Amino acid sequence: MAFFLKTKIWQTGALEWWAMIDNEDVYLGSREFPLPPEEGDEWLVRTTGDRFKVIDKQICLIAKEDPVDPWQI
């Protein structure tokens, strides 16, 4: 899949999206991840509370929030 991003991303067999950010494997979410990711897209990973945004063709961690309880989704 070519998304024209500078960030290396991959999808697991469990349909979860991951990225290599600052030399670490970072969970990007599953259903939250925008397909295809485009400049300016922003999303919140409900299970971790991490908020990401595509800036200059890179996926950036922009905030950490409290995770959302599964029964509140």
pLDDT at 65: 87
pTM of the model: 0.85
Paired tokens of 23 = 């030399």
pLDDT at 59: 96
Give the integer Cα–Cα distance in Å for 38 and 68: 25
Give the integer Cα–Cα distance in Å for 19 and 23: 9
Query: Which tens digit of pLDDT belongs to each residue from 4-44?
Result: 899 999 999 999 999 999 999 999 999 999 999 999 999 99
Paired tokens of 10 = 């991959």
* 2 Cβ contact list (under 8 Å, min separation 6): none
pLDDT at 9: 94
* 56 Cβ contact list (under 8 Å, min separation 6): 6, 39
